[in-house]
A and B are shown apart, each in its own frame.
Chain A
Amino acid sequence: MLEVEGVSKNFGGLRAVADVTMRVEEGSITALIGPNGAGKTTLFATISGFLRPDTGRVRFLGRDIAGLSPERICRLGLARTFQIVQPFAGLSVRENIAVGAHLHRPGRTEALAHAELIGRQIGMGRMLDQPAGALTIAGRKRLELARALATDPKLLLLDEVMAGLNPTEIEEIVAVVRRIRLAGVTILLIEHVMQAVVSLAETTWVLSDGVLIARGSPAEIAADPKVVEAYLGRGAAARLAGREGGAAHA
């Protein structure tokens, strides 16, 4: 469904994303993990049209989308959320979601009705009339998800929608994400919350310093010494292996 081929993105001298090649299968939940500053958000931004890749190609549904504007890409069925939430602060939750719903629903009544439906699905039923600016961080993360989902995407890119949430809230969002996939939406998610990655993703890609260093099921990834080193520093895998005979934490 999504194929990223040799994509690089530099900021001045900094190589934020270096020659990344990865793919997302239709119908899957795929995770992208990696330490802070690994280039995950930058990769999302190049896929979704907010940044133009310096090299490489991005294919979505068989079509080259690198260089298209974000709004064009969204119309093709690829929606993203923002790690740093970007609510329309002055509007109500319902109106926020309706902006997304309008993409394929010209009528106001229709869009508002769909916004309400999505809002309830995402567990924001009681917040629909609140101003988005008054939401807690958990509420804002949900709103990001709801708005993107309201555009009827085929592929949803979720950038740390669980960061800053408590365990109960994480459980809830995990269930929501699972339901979205069941409804036929493919999902690529960036996540630091390993509990969520393990319970959701079939495939996990690991990015470190802009380079993809591993790919596999969450269990395979956790056992990969390269991944452990990326998170804990050079030699960590060997030290851990020496002490307990395996790396369990990533």
Chain B
Amino acid sequence: MRRQLLAIVAFLAAMALVPHLVDSEFWRNWVMMALFYALLGQAWNILGGYGGQFSFGHAAFFGTGAYCSAILHVHYGVNPWIALPAAGMAAGLVGAFIGFLSFRYGLRGSYFALVTLAFAEVLRILANTVPITGKGVGLLIPLEPGAANMQFADRTGYFYLILAFVGLALLLTLWLEHSRFGARLVAVRENEDAARALGVDVFRTKLAAITLSGALAGLGGSYYAQLFLYLDPGIAYGPAISVEALLVPIVGGMGTLFGPLLGSFALHGVSELAKLAFGEAPGLDLALYGVLLVLMVMFMPNGLFGMGRTTLARLLGGRRDA
């Protein structure tokens, strides 16, 4: 635990230097977006990686967080810093709702994945029809630069904000790894019947996990709204976010503390390389992600982090280190 905490602090400190050391605006931006996707991946990881419940619809939480903070700000004049926790809570509630319906009726595996996908789609259609979201036209957040408005004229503020969120997600995950709740969540992933026989309330455990996961993704949504100052139903609830959220931890290592971080940087590195090689063909990212997903599942089911760990263990003479 100490070593993990140290690693987190070292990582955050190194990242904090990026805006000062990296000259290129492009690369600073690139790191920032990698951190953003790491946050979504970490959110997914809590439910999918530790809890074994694969969601295909994390956009439902992301979009709810994004719309919640944007709507509160635009229509009700709520300060974005105050709208932020509200967005997290709203997204957590959506998580609790989806979780209640699916887990109460024992939906698992692909059935659960389909339900989450369906919820994200329903929310997308809903956002397309109700006036408060601006429907298909989208919702524009007025430009009022100033830290008090969570809008930063130079992008360094956005960089530190997402870094803070990632730090929060890492600490939350660290806590999870060393708490009773986390132990029970992993037990549920490994074998539900055995967990129940040991007194674990499977339903409540999963419900708590999806709520937490949803809330974290909701913070990501709120951040996104403030960064781009524009939302539409496709951005908020479309499948792109859902795919990123699940691919990042799958590539990096599900159910590990640093997996999503590793996965996000790797995935976006590869996607940049592909752009260099093939140009900006539309749909290229998704095709690439599809291929990557198949390759990962076939050859590296434990992700980059898992593979690194096994290799390291082998080098150290078969010592297994968790």
Contacts and interface: CB of A to CB of B under 8 A. Distances in A.
B177 to A, nearest CB: 9
B257 interface: no
A92 B322 contact: yes
B190 A111 contact: no
B195 interface: yes
A195 interface: no
Nearest to B190: A88
B257 to A, nearest CB: 15
A147 B200 CA distance: 12
B2 interface: no
Interface residues of B, number: 22
Contacts of B137: none
Interface of A is mostly: loop
Contacts of A70: 196-197
B191 A88 contact: yes
Contacts of B178: 108
Nearest to A102: B180
Nearest to A106: B180
B194 A82 contact: yes
Interface range on chain A (Cβ under 8 Å from partner) = 35 or more
A100 B198 contact: yes
B320 A99 contact: no
A90 B184 CA distance: 13
B318 to A, nearest CB: 12
A99 B195 contact: yes
Nearest to B320: A129
A50 interface: yes
A2 B148 CA distance: 65
A146 to B, nearest CB: 11
A71 B196 contact: yes
A91 interface: yes
Contacts of B320: 129, 131
Nearest to B204: A71
B199 A71 contact: yes
Contacts of A50: 193, 196-197
A69 B198 contact: no
Interface in A48-65: 48, 50
Contacts of B189: 90
13 contacts: A74-B197, A74-B199, A75-B199, A88-B191, A90-B190, A99-B187, A100-B199, A102-B184, A107-B180, A108-B178, A108-B183, A129-B320, A148-B198
Interface of A: 48, 50, 69-71, 74-75, 79-82, 86-92, 95, 98-100, 102-103, 105-108, 111, 129, 131, 147-148, 150-151
